[in-house]
Amino acid sequence: MLEIKGLKVKLEEEDKQILKGVDLTVETGKVHAIMGPNGSGKSTLSYVLSGRDGYEVTGGTATMDGVDLLALEPEERAAAGLFLAFQYPVEIPGVGNMTFLRTAVNAQRKARGEAELSAGDFLKVVRERAKALKIDADMLKRPVNVGFSGGEKKRNEILQMAMLEPRMCILDETDSGLDVDAMKLVADGVNALRAEGRSFLVITHYQRLLDHITPDVVHIMADGRIIRTGGPDLALEVEKNGYADILAETA
Amino acid sequence: MALAKRTTDPALAALELPQGGAWASEARQAARARLAEMGLPGRRDEYWRYTDPTTLISTDPTPAKVGEADDIFAGTNALRLVFVDGVFDADASDGLDESGVEILQLADVTAKDIHWVKEFYGVLEAAGQVPVARPLAALNTATATQGAVIRATGKVSRPVHLIYLRRDETAEAVMHHVVRIEPGADLTLLESGAGAARLSTVMEVDVAEGAAFHHVRLQGRDHERRAATHCFARVAADARFKSFTLTLNGAMTRNETVLTLKGDGGVAHVAGAVVGDGDDFHQDDTVFVTHDAVGCESRQVFKKVLRNGATGVFQGKILVKPGAQKTDGYQISQSLLLDDDSRFLAKPELEIYADDVACSHGSTSGAIDDTALFYLRSRGVPERTATMLLTLAFLAESLAEIDDPALAEELRDRLEGWLARHH
DSSP B77-107: --EEEEEETTEE-TTTSPP--BTTEEEEEHH
Q: Where are the alpha helices (DSSP H) in chain A?
A: 42-50, 74-79, 97-111, 119-132, 137-141, 150-164, 180-193, 208-212, 232-241, 244-250
Between CA A204 and CA B77 the distance in angstroms is 59
Between chains, do A78 and B378 touch, taking CB under 8 Å as contact? Answer: yes
The answer to whether B414 touches B246, Cβ cutoff 8 Å, is: yes
Within 8 A by CB and 6+ apart from B229, the residues are B199, B200, B201, B202, B203, B253, B254, B255, B256
Q: What is the pLDDT of residues B8-56, one digit of tens each?
A: 578 898 999 999 999 999 999 999 999 999 999 998 899 999 999 999 9
Q: Which residues in chain B touch residue A108, judged by CB atoms under 8 angstroms apart?
A: 379-380
Amino acid at B336: L
Average pLDDT of B244-249? 96
Q: In this predicted structure, what is the pLDDT of residue B220? A: 83
What DSSP string runs through A128-197?
HHHHHTT--HHHHHSEETTT--HHHHHHHHHHHHHHH--SEEEEESTTTT--HHHHHHHHHHHHHH--TT
What's the whole-number average pLDDT of chain B? 95
What percent of chain B is helix, strand and coil (3-state, nearest 5)? 25, 40, 40
Judged by CB atoms closer than 8 Å, whether chains meet at B380 and A73 is answered as no
Interface of A with B in 93-112 (CB under 8 A): 93-95, 99-100, 103-105, 107-108, 111
Would an 8 Å CB–CB cutoff place A74 in contact with chain B? yes
Distance in Å, alpha carbon of B197 to nearest chain A alpha carbon: 36
Tell me whether A141 touches chain B (CB under 8 Å).
no
For B305, the 3-state DSSP assignment is strand
Across the interface, whether the CB atoms of A73 and B377 are under 8 A apart is answered: yes
Tell which residue, B37, B41, B36, B39, has the closest CA to residue B54. Answer: B41
- Name which of A4, A46, A39 is nearest A21 in CA terms: A4
- With bands split at pLDDT 50, 70 and 90, how would you rate the model's confidence at B7? low
**Residue A39 touches chain B, beta carbons under 8 Å:** no
Among all residues of chain B, which has the CA nearest to that of A50?
B378
pLDDT for the residue B4: 47
User: What are B's interface residues with A at a Cβ cutoff of 8 A?
Assistant: 370-372, 374-383, 385-386, 389-390, 392-397
Strand partners, A61: A5
Contacts of B374 in chain A (CB under 8 A): 51-53, 74, 90
Q: Which residues on B lie below 8 Å from A48 (Cβ)?
A: none
Listed in order, strand segments (DSSP E) in B182-239 are 186-192, 198-207, 212-219, 226-235
pLDDT at A207: 86
Domain segments of chain B: what residues?
9-369
Lowest-pLDDT choice from A196-200, A244-248, B381-385, B386-390: A244-248
Inter-residue contact B175 to B149 (CB < 8 Å): no
CA-to-CA distance for A21 and A16, rounded, in angstroms? 14
Q: What is the CB neighbour count within 10 angstroms for residue B48?
A: 20
Spell out which residues of chain B touch residue A86, defining contact as CB-CB under 8 Å: 375, 378
pTM across the whole model: 0.91
- The pLDDT of residue B377: 97
The terminus-to-terminus CA distance of chain B in angstroms comes to: 38
B371 contacts in chain A (CB < 8 Å): 90
Query: Which amino acid is present at B237?
Result: A
So what's the pLDDT on residue B1?
A: 41
Q: Rounded to a whole number, what is the distance in Å from the CA of B218 to chain A's nearest CA? A: 22
pLDDT score, position B2: 47
Distance CA(B94)–CA(B162), nearest Å, equals 11
Chain A window 142-171: which residues touch B at a Cβ cutoff of 8 Å?
143, 160, 164
Give the model confidence (pLDDT) of B199-232 as tens digits.
Answer: 999 999 999 999 999 999 999 889 999 999 999 9
Return the amino acid letter for A163: M
**Predicted confidence (pLDDT) at residue B187 exceeds the cutoff of 70:** yes
In a mutational test of the B interface, the residue from A12, A72, A95, A161 whose CB has the highest number of chain B CBs within 10 Å is A95
Q: Could A92 and B376 be called an inter-chain contact, meaning their C-beta atoms sit closer than 8 Å?
A: yes
Element (H, E) at B387: helix B383-399
Contact between chains at A104 and B389 (C-beta distance less than 8 A): no
Beta bridge partners of B276: B306
User: A102-106, B4-8, B191-195, B307-311 — which is least confidently predicted?
Assistant: B4-8
Say how far apart CA A35 and CA B19 lie, in whole Å. 87
Q: Which residues of chain A have pLDDT under 50?
A: none
Cα atoms found within 13 Å of the Cα of residue A71, Cβ hemisphere only? 6
Q: Closest Cα partner for B284 from B332, B316, B318?
A: B316
Are A108 and B370 in contact (CB < 8 Å)? no
> CA-CA distance, A202 to A32, in Å (whole number)?
6
ipTM of the complex: 0.95
Q: Which has the closest alpha carbon to A187: A165, A199, A167, A171? A: A171
Whether A104 and B385 lie within 8 Å, measured CB to CB: no
